[in-house]
Amino acid sequence: MTFLAIKTISKHYGPVHALDNIDLTVAPGSRTAIVGPSGSGKTTLLRIIAGFETPDAGQVMLEGETLADGPSVVPAHRRGIGIVSQDGALFPHLSVADNISFGMERGRPDRTQQINALIDMVELDRNMLDRRPHQLSGGQQQRVALARALGRKPRLMLLDEPFSALDTGLRENMRKAVARVLQIAGITTILVTHDQAEALSFADQVAVLRDGKLVQAGTPQSLYLHPRDRETATFLGDAILLPADLGDGFTNCALGRIPTDTNGRQGRADIMLRPEQLQLSVLDDAGTSAACVGKVTDVEFGGAVCTVTVVLSQANGAETLNIKSSGVGLPEIGSMVSVTVLGKAHVFDKPGA
């Protein structure tokens, strides 16, 4: 079932083609993340959905209602869409309570009850209600902004990089908290972010934009493991890209004979593995018959996840691999290791894709 449908949306700013024929559907109650490099059109798309920007062509439909049909649009304030932006955009001269209740009827008998319910929902202490925004941390301000947006009971919530000003630990906590609040409230959400890890962990659906075009949309798992092209593969995370010979659901490549995610394709192709699909074992003298052998040339300690650089032997094409490994029992530089592949290699649709 479709809740929001974006159909053939295009937008120019003078000579810049900010959005080019975008089609995207969003299911009710779901969380979609729109990701892409800087300038790929993410904010423009969000602003068109919100009603702050008019498309040149195409439609935006929400619950079957046409919100935009080319330049003919329903104004932003009549769309029932909430938005939380990067800076939270709170009113600095108003208390937290007044910020949350902004737009609520002032004489409403259940006003205090509503404010309390909203501040509880975003898991802030009620004793913060009398404070001004500058007396709150960045994360607390974002929660107030979310409470204010929720107070208007939006049909759809748009989050425009709301976590980007927060530091790493807080960012992750906020992301989880916001996802929880929106899920409990049953509100369909679209998040714009340039942080691919954030998109993968927050969303049920990830849509990748590049140069104003929608490159791929799908579940985080499907995009991460089966990206359409090399650019999407490397945008979504570290990737090991290798040339290979295909046949019968297997490939022969520098890592030996490994299963692939396509059947029935033959010939040369480019394949991708995620670094965590490769497992290292330090070789003792008896292990030199292992299928794929290499030498450790660098070890980068990174806490829980470390990077081990391995140069494969001549027999394995002398490829250089950056492999993710746990910080426990890291091999030493200069040691010989065998490399085993977990799972399947992804085959790109087109050679050189």
Binding site for ligand ATP (CB under 6 A): 13, 16, 18, 36, 38-44, 194
Give 121 or 206: the residue with its C-beta nearer to ligand ATP.
206
Q: Which is nearer to ligand ATP, 16 or 318 (CB)?
A: 16
Answer yes or no: are the C-beta atoms of 269 and 351 closer than 8 Å: yes
Taking the CB of residue 228, how many other CB atoms lie within 10 A of it?
A: 16
> At its nearest, how many Å lie between ligand ATP and the CB of residue 341?
35
- Min separation Cβ 78 and ligand ATP, Å: 23
**Count of beta carbons in the 10 Å neighbourhood of residue 221:** 10
Q: Which amino acid is at 119?
A: I
CA dist., res. 137 & res. 89, Å (int): 14
Minimum distance between the CB of residue 202 and ligand ATP, rounded to whole angstroms?
Answer: 16
CB of 39 to ligand ATP, least distance (A): 4
Measured distance CA(59)–CA(72) in Å, rounded: 9
Q: How far is the CB of 54 from ligand ATP (least distance, A)?
A: 12
Q: Which is nearer to ligand ATP, 40 or 316 (CB)?
A: 40
Name the burial class of residue 263, with classes exposed (0-12), middle (13-18) and buried (19+) by CB atoms within 10 angstroms of its CB: exposed
The residue among 131 and 194 lying less far from ligand ATP, judged by its C-beta, is 194
- Cα–Cα dist 293/335, whole Å: 11
Distance of closest approach, residue 12 Cβ to ligand ATP, in angstroms:
9
Q: What is the DSSP letter of 345?
A: B
DSSP for residue 137: -
Q: Where are the alpha helices (DSSP H) in the chain?
A: 42-50, 96-100, 111-121, 138-151, 168-185, 196-202, 220-225, 230-236
130's torsion region: left (phi>0), alpha (psi -120 to 50) or beta?
alpha
Specify the residue, 206 or 271, whose C-beta has the smaller distance to ligand ATP: 206
Instruction: Decide whether 42 or 344 has the Cβ nearer to ligand ATP.
Output: 42
**Residue 173 one-letter amino acid:** N
Quick one: residue 179, left, alpha or beta (phi over 0 = left, psi -120 to 50 = alpha)?
alpha
Q: How far is the CB of 49 from ligand ATP (least distance, A)?
A: 12
CB-nearer residue toward ligand ATP: 39 or 247: 39
In whole angstroms, the minimum distance from the beta carbon of 292 to ligand ATP comes to 39
CB-wise, 17 or 131, nearer to ligand ATP?
17
